[in-house]
Structures are given as structure tokens and as C-alpha cells.
């Protein structure tokens, strides 16, 4: 059907030169169908069109009532008899119901009547019902010459706006009365038959998006992990075996010089295990660790509190991957000296209440460097290089405290976008 | 220590006199104090501090008495700390006394008090000992990464209120009672670094070169992940803690008590156990993404946790690979095909295509999680013919799907990839 319409439009353009108003030219055809045909013809550059919108007003239900019976204020006026007696307001209300209230206000505003005690009394001798006149004009012509009248009638919800859309059509650059079927795509048949040589291709819309390939995807967090891993590999780090989420308090805390009364070991912050609840044994150097906590050693005066073997055996979900670093350093110490760099990126657990920025399990990135003659200065220099590889430069450092590092530093970098210094991590 | 009934006093800021039991009751609703009631509540005796006239001064650890309240006219103050750890008590007393003494009539003085224990032992407090720690410029400079002379170091330490005396090569640092945190030489090095300024320390790298190496299990996991993603699956990263039901009842599985690690103190039922399967996490993922177009293809290669009495820590991780296909039809052959591809990337061929070398096969089995007749064990067959169960594959049982609030069929496989190391 639309093919027919398109041909009709072309023929009409050919014979008349232009179509002034499609609504008039194609009575009975809906505006959408016409638009469809025009768009199709336009894409082939056979026609050009301009949209014509006309507004017209129709009378609403309440408007119809006032059109036929006069405006509320006019009715009130008519009900008020001439003379100084006037009519009691409550009589008006009895007669007209709610119309009385609506009409009274306007009547008084127009100075057609005035209040005299409990009654309304005429001031004007006669009136012109402007509203009814306005409505009559709108009813007849669909509009009104005075914009203010339209505004007023609209405000009182007596009339409603409507639009008609129509089009003025003219010949396009490629105008012809022929409608050739356009090809949308190049096909194998066209190539085989040679039809592609004489085919007309539909104009392609390059301002569009292509078809989503819907392939497989890797998880964004894993992608970030991969980037970190690459930086570690580039700087000579060995990946630690972190495939053990369960750890004894000994390795997670005690061996790292975290005292047994430390707040981090509270039930509120750490996941303790119910089953299995305790480690079956502690490593052979556990008594050395106990001594350092209780009495000191290796130059330290220790924490000087009674250390409990049972507490150290309690199993936890590791709260940091530093527990694994402790294992690695212990193993490293068994052999002859060699410099070593270890890293890990894996899950850790904190017994937090979950909210928008906190999970009970998350990933930590950790690195350890064992070498001779290292100082805070060389650690800072290393961190400079490490973070620069990830696009973060201009690092600043602030003192902080960890039970297992001394000196300790918080690492900050300036974030251009947020305009402030952000904490990147902790070190020592 | 006295029986609670025998202790009678007016607590701080109150007007009524109460005995020990009444005090406990009284503070049940107090925002601050109710947290400490449990420390003494059930004890047969409560600790109490009296003055010479047997008037109650304090009921530690809860509240002092109204009688001994400090007012604007108070001229003499007793600082008293009762605790269960002697080291901590001394640290706290030292700091309180030193900080408070600034405001004394004669500043920085304190009247010592003699404490006599029932067994006759006597102690004079506060102890306020000045500790001495010996160190060297060489050590301190080495830790910080600067080169300052001993005299310069001494000046810097003074900025941190640490008095240092240079004696030739040695630096003897006098540690005030207010610094119980200084346990050894490295603590002094930190103070020196702070005095110098962390950001002013010369940034010189001097590490020896080392060789990088990935962890073999992670390298293997990456091979498997890449294969599955290239096949068109989307990777998920799910939580490793879940509810007991997620891991058992919802999958129509029974808990024999030997499999799963149970947590003691979770804040929610979502953290009752460590998962032993990746499947529930992925099913939850599919459930949360029901509004997206089918088919949904998700996978994860990640650790589960299994109990293991043979190791010191009683548990160990196991690296699993799990993939799900959710669509209008279960299409078992699709996850089966994916499994074939994953195996091929690990150099293992199906028995359908080979009859020697390391192969794998699917052995039909009655697995409650899967639809009857559509579930199988994935078996690895070694060169010598012995076999090892890697995992399972099948079309999920509709009850399982219902438990996870899924309306479409799902087929899946889950295997342990560690044998491929």
C-alpha cells in the first residue's frame, strides 16, 4: 500500500510541481502513513518535505456547559434582581449549588455586583458575557484572535489545545516518477548473477551503531588483577601460593608480631572458624614467637603479656595476605641467602557488615622485597617506579603504624579528576 | 573484692545509694556503661576501691562514686587504675600521670603511692622509669636511607622529644615514660625518619635484580579462563562465603559433616560457611541477571574450601572451573562441547576420540543435583588406566532451579582443575 502511496506522491509532484498540504491532498490517509512514505522517498532523495503544524482549540465539557448556558458569573448576575434588595447569598447557593461560589468570585471581580451584608446587589445595569462570546468564537473557528482570551479560557480549563500535522512536499535532487526497488545489502546471488552492477543501493546510515558481537568476556576485577600482575612480573616478582583462605592465628597474627589483645583479633573484625576450630599443631619455632611476645628478643623488649598457645591455634579466614608473606619469608630463611621479591593478589576476609562500600571478602595486592642494605629511601624509590608503571606519579608518604613494619608509611598520590590526595596503600 | 550485696554507695552524678546488684541493674540501659557490665556481672565478688574511711571511691570497671567527684574546689587528685594486665596498667598510668602533672601546683611533680598486696608484696607507683636504648648512627642512617652525623641525628631526635647522648660511635637514647611504643632500635629509626621528613628522603633504588615467576596454579587457571571466554562465556566473580543451604539443601545435596568449613561468628546467614562448589554462586548470578537476553553463559575459575584433617590448618583450597548455560532449552550438548574444548586446551581428549594416552570420559551417575538420566561424573583416565573423578556435568534438576528462583533450564559442569598441574 505504501508503495502505491509513494508512486501517487511522485506522480502528483510531477504533474503539479509541488504539494502544498498533504492533509488536503490525501484525505483519508493517516498522517503517520504519509510520513512513512515521505521518509522513504526522502532517503532516496526523490522528495523534500517540510512539516506544517497547526494548533486548534476544542471546547471541553465544562466549556460546553458555559457555551450553552452562559458563564457562571453571567448566570449569577442574571439571578441577582435589579434594585437595592438584591438576593441573599444563601439563596443563590441553594439555587445554583457549587456554581454559585465559582460565579460569585468572578462577578464581584468584574464589578457586576457588590456585597451588601449577606446579599449581592447589582452595580452594573447590564453585562456582556465575554466568556460565552469567546467560547462561541473558538467553537466556530477553532481559535480566537485574542491571545489573552485563549490564555484565560485555557486557564479555566474550558478549552483544550490540539495539533494537526501536515506536510508540504517538493521535488528532491533525484526526483523521478520511477520507484526502483533498492538493494539493502550485497549478496552472494548478486555477485554470481552480476546483478550488483545495475543494482541501486539504499543510502546507508553511517551515524548508527553496529551489531553487538555478544562474545565472551573476562571479569573487570580480573582484568585489573592482570594489569597489576604484569607490573609485578616486569619488576622481577615471584607469585606467592595464596591458595589457602583458612589460616591459623599463629601465622595470620602472632608470627607477624600482632599481640593477642590487638583489636583486629576481635570477634567483630575477624572470621573465626567453628569447624575446624583449631590448628592441629604449630610450626616448630612457635616457642621463639611466644618468647618475643612475652619477654622480647632480637633487640626488642616485647609486649610483656602472657601469650596463649591456644589462642594462637585458633583458625581464622585470613585477614590479610601478609600471612602468606610470613610463610614465604620463613621458607626463604631456611635456605642460603638470596635476594627475593614476592607478590600476591588474592582474597582476604574481614567480619564487616556489608554496605555500599564494604564487603566481607575482597582482594588485596601485596608485595615483599627481601634484600641487603635496603632502607626507607630505597623502598620509596621502588614504590615510585611501581606506581609510575600504572600511571600514578608524584607520590607522597606519611608515617603510620603496623604491628609488623617499622618504619611504616601510607602512600598517597594526587588524583587529577577528584582534585585531592588519595591513599593508595600501606607499606613499611 | 566484696560481694555485690555488701557494696553500698551513691554512683557518680546520682542521688540514690545502691548496692552492687542495683548498680548493675541501674546501668543496663546506659549507652556507655552497659557494654562493660558483663565483665563483673556474674562474678561472686566485685572489685571495689575504698578510701581510709571505708567510703566507696570507685566500682571498677563501671563507675566512680558521687562522693569522690572532682569539683572546682578539688586540690588533690588520686589517679588510680585497676586492670587485668600489669604491663598495660603501668603504661597507662605513666602517660596519665605525666600528662596531668603539667597542671600541678609544682608542675611535673607527682606524689608516689605505695601499693601493698595481700601477700605482703609492696610496690611504689608510678614507676616512671627512664629507659635507655643504645643504637648507632650507622644503623639509624641505614634504615632511613640518609647520611647524617651522630650529632645531627641527636638534634633530629630532640625534635621528637627523644634525648640522645652521643658517645663516640654509639648513640644512647633516653626514652621517656610517655613512649611505651618504642620497643627496639627500629622504632627510633622511625622517629628519626619522621623528624627528617619522609618526603625529603633521597629516593635511591638499590635492589638486586630478581627473576619473575607466576604461580603454576594461576598460570593454569588463566589458560582455562581464556579458553572459556573465547568460547563466548562471560566471567563472573562470586563471593566465597555463602549460606549452608546454598551449598547443600538448595542443590539437593546432603552434608556428611566432613566436607565444609563452618564459620563461628558470621554477621549474616550469607556468611555461614565457605563454599565447596562454585555452582551456587553462578546460579545466583544468573538469577540476578534474569532480565538479560537468553542464552546466558557464565563461568568462574576460582577457589573453593574443603576440610582436610591431614593438614595443620585443617582445611585447604581447591581450584575449580564451573560453567553454566541458561536458555529456553537445557541443551546439554553445549556445556558438553565447552568441556571438550577446555579439556583439549589441557591436552586431554575424550574417550570418544581416543583410546590411549590421558583421556577423559563422562560416566552416567545418579546425582541428585541433576535431572535423572542427565547427570554424569567427569572422569580423568590416566595412561595406566586408573581414573580420577574431576567433577560433574548435567542438566540441573528443576527443584534446584526453583530453589534459586530460576525460570529457565540450566545445564552446567564443575571440575577440579588441580590434577592438571
Question: What residues of chain A, 288 to 327, have a C-beta less than 8 Å from chain B?
Answer: 296, 298-305, 315, 317
Q: Does B340 touch chain A (CB under 8 A)?
A: no
Cα(B5)–Cα(A342) distance, integer angstroms: 61
Nearest to B202 among A271, A275, A377 (CB): A377
| Residue A1 pLDDT | 55
Cα(B73)–Cα(B63) distance, integer angstroms: 21
Write the CA distances from A180 to A3, A36, A42, B79, B152, integer angstroms: 10, 17, 14, 103, 95
Question: What residues of chain B, 49 to 68, have a C-beta less than 8 Å from chain A?
Answer: none
Instruction: Say if the Cβ atoms of B307 and A275 lie within 8 Å.
Output: yes
| A342 alpha carbon, distance to own chain's centre | 40
Nearest to A272 among B204, B225, B264 (CB): B264
Question: What residues of chain A, 35 to 94, have a C-beta less than 8 Å from chain B?
Answer: none
By 3-state DSSP, what share of chain A in percent is helix, strand and coil, each rounded to 5? Answer: 40, 25, 35
| A126 alpha carbon, distance to own chain's centre | 63
Which tens digits make up the pLDDT trace of B248-276? 999 999 999 889 999 998 888 888 999 99
Rounded (10°) angle between helices A130-141 and A61-69: 120
Nearest Cα residue in chain B from A296: B183
Longest dimension (CA), chain B: 99
Cα(A91)–Cα(A118) distance, integer angstroms: 10
Of the candidates A105, A66, A69, which has an alpha carbon nearest to the alpha carbon of residue A89?
A105
Strand B18-19 relative to strand B49-50: parallel, antiparallel, unpaired? unpaired
Strand B170-175 relative to strand B241-242: parallel, antiparallel, unpaired? unpaired
Q: Does A124 touch chain B (CB under 8 A)?
A: no
Q: Does B38 touch chain A (CB under 8 A)?
A: no
Nearest Cα residue in chain B from A385: B205
Nearest to A301 among B184, B218, B297 (CB): B184
Q: Does B186 touch chain A (CB under 8 A)?
A: yes
DSSP-assigned letters across all residues of A59-74? E-HHHHHHHHH--HHH
Nearest Cα residue in chain A from B313: A279
Gap from A131 CA to chain B (nearest CA, Å)? 55
Nearest to A315 among B187, B210, B313 (CB): B313
Q: Does B199 touch chain A (CB under 8 A)?
A: yes
Q: Does B342 touch chain A (CB under 8 A)?
A: no
List CB contacts (< 8 A) between B206 and chain A. 371, 373-374, 378
| Residue B411 pLDDT | 96
| Residue A49 pLDDT | 86
Instruction: Say if the Cβ atoms of A246 and B313 lie within 8 Å.
Output: yes
Helices (H), A81-240: 89-96, 98-109, 130-141, 147-155, 188-193, 220-234
Rounded (10°) angle between helices A31-43 and A2-16: 70
> Under DSSP, is residue A14 helix (H, G, I), strand (E, B) or coil?
helix
Cα(A165)–Cα(B87) distance, integer angstroms: 90
List CB contacts (< 8 A) between B205 and chain A. 378, 381-382, 385
Instruction: Find the distance separating the first CA and the last CA of chain A, reported in whole Å.
Output: 80
Q: Are B326 and B313 in contact (CB under 8 A)?
A: no
Rg (CA), chain A: 44
| Residue B265 pLDDT | 82
Instruction: Say if the Cβ atoms of A407 and B267 lie within 8 Å.
Output: no
Q: Are B61 and B82 in contact (CB under 8 A)?
A: yes
Nearest Cα residue in chain B from A348: B240
Q: Are A105 and A71 in contact (CB under 8 A)?
A: no
Cα(B60)–Cα(B80) distance, integer angstroms: 10
Is B308 a residue whose pLDDT tops 80?
yes
| Residue A365 pLDDT | 94
Question: What residues of chain B, 213 to 232, have a C-beta less than 8 Å from chain A?
Answer: 213-215, 217-218, 225, 228-232
Residue B189 has phi, psi (to 5 degrees) of: -60, -40
Q: Does A244 touch chain B (CB under 8 A)?
A: yes
3-state secondary structure A294-349: HCCECCECCCCCCCCHHHHHEEEECCCCHHHHHHHHHHHHHCCCCCEEEEEEEEEE
- Choose the mutation target among A223, A243, A408 for the interface with B, i.e. most B CBs under 10 Å: A243
Q: Does A238 touch chain B (CB under 8 A)?
A: yes
> Under DSSP, is residue B191 helix (H, G, I), strand (E, B) or coil?
helix
Of the candidates B343, B384, B346, which has an alpha carbon nearest to the alpha carbon of residue B361?
B343
Gap from B129 CA to chain A (nearest CA, Å)? 14
Q: Does B111 touch chain A (CB under 8 A)?
A: no
Which tens digits make up the pLDDT trace of B7-51? 899 999 888 899 888 888 888 888 888 888 888 888 899 989 998
Is B399 a residue whose pLDDT tops 80?
yes
Q: Are A265 and A250 in contact (CB under 8 A)?
A: no
Paired with B324 in beta bridges are B298, B412
Q: Are B225 and B301 in contact (CB under 8 A)?
A: yes
Gap from B258 CA to chain A (nearest CA, Å)? 10
Instruction: Classify residue B24 by its DSSP letter.
Output: H
| Residue A104 pLDDT | 76
Q: Are A135 and A158 in contact (CB under 8 A)?
A: yes
List CB contacts (< 8 A) between B209 and chain A. 236
Instruction: Say if the Cβ atoms of A238 and B210 lie within 8 Å.
Output: yes
Percent of chain B residues topping a pLDDT of 70 = 100
Is B416 a residue whose pLDDT tops 90?
yes
Rg (CA), chain B: 35
Q: Please tell me which residue, B339 or A265, carries the higher pLDDT value.
A: B339
Which tens digits make up the pLDDT trace of A338-374? 999 999 999 999 988 888 888 899 999 999 999 988 8
Which tens digits make up the pLDDT trace of B95-145? 999 999 999 989 989 999 999 998 999 999 988 888 899 999 999 999 999
- Choose the mutation target among B181, B219, B257, B264 for the interface with A, i.e. most A CBs under 10 Å: B264
Cα(A427)–Cα(A404) distance, integer angstroms: 10
Cα(B13)–Cα(A418) distance, integer angstroms: 49
Write the CA distances from A131 to A5, A120, A137, A149, A325, integer angstroms: 45, 21, 10, 8, 89
Nearest Cα residue in chain B from A398: B198
| Residue B409 pLDDT | 95
Which tens digits make up the pLDDT trace of B219-251? 999 999 999 999 999 999 999 999 999 999 999
> Under DSSP, is residue B52 helix (H, G, I), strand (E, B) or coil?
coil
Q: Are B160 and B194 in contact (CB under 8 A)?
A: yes
Q: Are A381 and A396 in contact (CB under 8 A)?
A: no
Q: Are A237 and A341 in contact (CB under 8 A)?
A: yes
Of the candidates B320, B352, B274, which has an alpha carbon nearest to the alpha carbon of residue B418?
B320
Q: Does B85 touch chain A (CB under 8 A)?
A: yes
H or E element that contains A382 = helix A376-388
What stretches in chain A show pLDDT beneath 50?
none
Q: Count helices and strands (H / E) in chain B.
A: 10, 21
Which tens digits make up the pLDDT trace of A116-173? 777 777 887 777 888 888 888 888 887 788 888 888 888 888 888 888 888 888 888 8
| Residue A128 pLDDT | 81
Instruction: Say if the Cβ atoms of B261 and A273 lie within 8 Å.
Output: yes
Gap from B328 CA to chain A (nearest CA, Å)? 18
Cα(A235)–Cα(A342) distance, integer angstroms: 11
| B261 alpha carbon, distance to own chain's centre | 16
Gap from B394 CA to chain A (nearest CA, Å)? 22
Cα(B56)–Cα(B300) distance, integer angstroms: 65
Instruction: Say if the Cβ atoms of B267 and A237 lie within 8 Å.
Output: no
Cα(B354)–Cα(A227) distance, integer angstroms: 39
Q: What is the mean pLDDT of chain A?
A: 87
Pull the grid cell for residue A83.
Answer: 434594585
List CB contacts (< 8 A) between B211 and chain A. 236, 238
Paired with B313 in beta bridges are none
Strands (E), B24-112: 49-50, 56-59, 63-64
Amino acid at each position: 500500500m505504501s508503495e502505491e502511496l509513494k508512486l501517487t506522491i511522485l506522480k502528483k509532484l510531477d504533474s503539479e510541481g509541488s504539494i502544498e498540504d498533504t492533509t488536503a491532498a490525501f484525505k483519508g490517509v493517516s498522517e503517520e502513513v504519509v510520513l512513512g512514505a515521505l521518509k522513504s522517498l526522502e532517503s532516496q532523495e526523490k522528495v523534500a518535505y517540510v512539516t506544517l503544524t497547526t494548533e486548534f482549540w476544542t471546547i471541553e465539557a465544562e466549556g460546553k456547559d458555559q457555551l450553552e448556558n452562559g458563564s457562571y458569573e453571567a448566570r449569577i448576575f442574571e439571578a441577582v434582581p435589579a434594585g437595592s434588595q438584591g438576593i441573599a447569598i444563601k439563596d443563590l447557593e441553594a439555587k445554583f449549588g457549587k456554581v454559585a461560589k465559582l460565579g460569585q468570585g468572578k462577578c464581584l471581580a468584574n464589578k457586576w455586583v457588590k456585597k451588601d451584608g449577606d446579599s449581592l446587589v447589582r452595580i452594573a445595569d447590564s453585562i456582556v458575557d465575554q466568556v460565552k462570546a469567546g467560547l462561541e468564537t473558538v467553537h466556530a473557528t477553532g481559535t480566537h484572535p485574542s491571545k489573552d482570551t485563549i490564555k484565560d479560557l485555557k486557564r479555566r480549563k474550558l478549552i483544550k489545545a490540539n495539533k494537526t500535522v501536515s506536510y508540504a512536499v517538493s521535488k528532491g535532487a533525484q526526483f523521478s516518477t520511477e520507484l526502483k526497488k533498492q538493494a539493502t545489502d550485497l549478496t552472494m546471488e548478486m555477485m554470481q548473477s552480476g546483478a550488483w552492477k545495475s543494482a541501486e543501493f539504499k543510502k546507508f546510515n553511517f551515524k548508527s551503531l553496529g551489531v553487538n558481537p555478544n562474545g565472551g568476556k573476562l571479569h573487570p576485577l580480573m582484568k585489573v588483577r592482570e594489569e597489576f600482575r604484569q607490573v609485578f612480573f616486569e619488576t622481577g616478582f615471584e607469585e606467592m601460593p595464596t591458595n589457602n583462605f583458612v589460616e591459623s592465628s599463629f601465622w595470620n597474627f602472632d608470627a607477624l608480631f600482632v599481640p593477642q589483645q590487638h583489636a583486629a583479633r576481635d570477634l567483630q573484625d575477624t572470621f573465626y572458624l567453628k569447624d575446624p576450630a583449631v590448628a592441629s599443631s604449630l610450626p616448630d619455632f612457635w616457642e621463639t614467637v611466644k618468647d618475643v611476645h612475652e619477654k622480647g628478643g632480637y633487640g626488642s623488649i616485647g609486649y610483656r603479656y602472657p601469650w596463649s598457645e591456644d589462642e594462637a591455634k585458633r583458625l581464622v579466614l585470613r585477614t590479610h595476605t601478609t600471612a602468606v608473606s610470613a610463610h614465604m619469608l620463613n621458607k626463604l630463611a631456611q635456605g642460603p641467602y638470596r635476594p627475593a621479591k614476592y607478590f600476591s593478589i588474592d582474597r582476604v576476609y574481614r567480619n564487616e557488615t556489608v554496605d555500599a562500600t564494604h564487603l566481607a571478602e575482597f582482594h588485596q595486592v601485596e608485595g615483599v622485597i627481601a634484600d641487603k642494605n635496603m632502607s626507607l629511601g630505597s623502598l620509596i624509590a621502588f614504590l615510585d617506579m611501581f606506581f609510575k608503571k600504572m600511571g600514578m606519579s608524584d607520590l607522597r608518604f606519611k608515617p603510620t603504624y603496623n604491628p609488623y613494619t617499622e618504619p611504616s608509611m601510607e602512600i598517597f598520590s594526587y588524583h587529577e579528576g577528584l582534585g585531592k590526595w588519595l591513599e593508595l596503600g600501606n607499606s613499611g | 573484692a566484696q560481694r555485690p550485696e555488701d557494696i553500698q554507695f551513691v554512683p557518680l552524678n546520682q542521688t540514690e545509694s545502691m548496692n552492687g546488684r542495683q548498680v548493675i541493674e541501674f546501668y543496663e540501659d546506659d549507652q556507655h556503661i552497659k557494654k562493660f557490665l558483663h565483665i563483673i556481672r556474674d562474678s561472686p565478688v566485685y572489685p571495689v576501691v575504698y578510701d581510709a574511711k571505708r567510703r566507696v571511691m570507685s566500682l571498677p570497671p563501671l563507675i566512680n562514686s558521687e562522693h569522690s567527684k572532682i569539683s572546682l574546689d578539688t586540690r588533690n587528685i588520686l589517679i588510680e587504675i585497676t586492670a587485668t594486665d600489669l604491663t598495660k596498667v603501668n603504661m597507662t598510668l605513666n602517660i596519665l600521670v605525666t600528662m596531668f602533672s603539667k597542671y600541678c601546683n609544682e608542675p611535673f611533680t607527682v606524689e608516689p603511692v605505695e601499693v601493698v598486696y595481700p601477700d605482703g608484696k609492696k610496690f611504689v607507683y608510678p614507676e616512671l622509669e627512664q629507659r635507655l636504648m643504645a643504637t648507632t648512627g650507622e644503623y639509624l642512617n641505614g634504615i632511613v636511607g640518609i647520611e647524617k652525623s651522630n650529632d645531627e641525628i641527636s638534634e633530629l631526635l630532640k625534635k621528637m622529644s627523644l634525648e640522645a647522648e652521643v658517645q663516640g660511635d654509639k648513640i644512647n637514647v633516653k626514652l621517656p615514660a610517655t613512649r611505651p611504643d618504642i620497643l627496639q632500635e627500629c622504632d627510633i629509626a622511625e622517629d628519626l625518619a619522621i623528624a627528617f621528613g619522609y618526603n625529603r628522603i633521597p629516593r635511591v633504588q638499590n635492589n638486586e635484580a630478581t627473576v619473575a615467576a607466576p604461580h603454576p596454579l594461576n598460570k593454569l587457571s588463566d589458560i582455562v579462563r581464556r579458553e572459556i571466554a573465547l568460547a563466548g562465556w562471560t566471567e563472573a566473580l562470586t563471593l566465597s562465603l555463602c549460606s549452608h543451604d546454598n551449598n547443600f539443601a538448595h542443590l539437593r545435596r546432603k552434608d556428611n559433616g566432613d566436607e565444609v568449613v563452618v564459620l563461628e561468628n558470621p554477621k549474616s546467614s550469607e556468611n555461614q560457611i565457605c563454599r565447596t562448589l562454585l555452582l551456587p554462586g553462578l546460579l545466583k548470578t544468573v538469577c540476578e541477571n534474569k532480565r538479560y537476553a537468553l542464552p546466558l553463559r557464565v563461568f568462574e575459575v576460582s577457589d573453593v574450601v574443603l576440610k582436610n584433617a591431614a593438614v595443620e590448618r585443617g582445611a585447604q583450597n581447591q581450584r575449580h572451573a564451573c560453567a553454566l548455560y541458561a536458555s529456553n532449552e537445557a541443551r546439554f550438548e553445549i556445556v558438553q562441547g565447552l568441556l571438550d574444548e577446555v579439556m583439549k586446551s589441557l591436552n586431554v581428549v575424550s574417550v570418544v576420540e581416543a583410546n590411549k594416552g590421558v583421556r577423559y570420559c563422562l560416566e552416567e551417575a545418579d546425582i541428585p543435583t541433576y535431572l535423572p538420566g542427565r547427570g554424569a561424573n567427569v572422569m580423568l583416565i590416566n595412561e595406566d588406566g586408573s581414573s580420577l573423578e574431576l567433577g560433574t556435568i548435567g542438566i540441573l534438576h528443576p527443584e534446584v532451579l526453583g530453589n534459586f528462583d530460576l525460570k529457565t533450564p540450566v545445564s552446567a559442569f564443575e571440575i577440579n582443575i588441580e590434577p592438571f598441574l
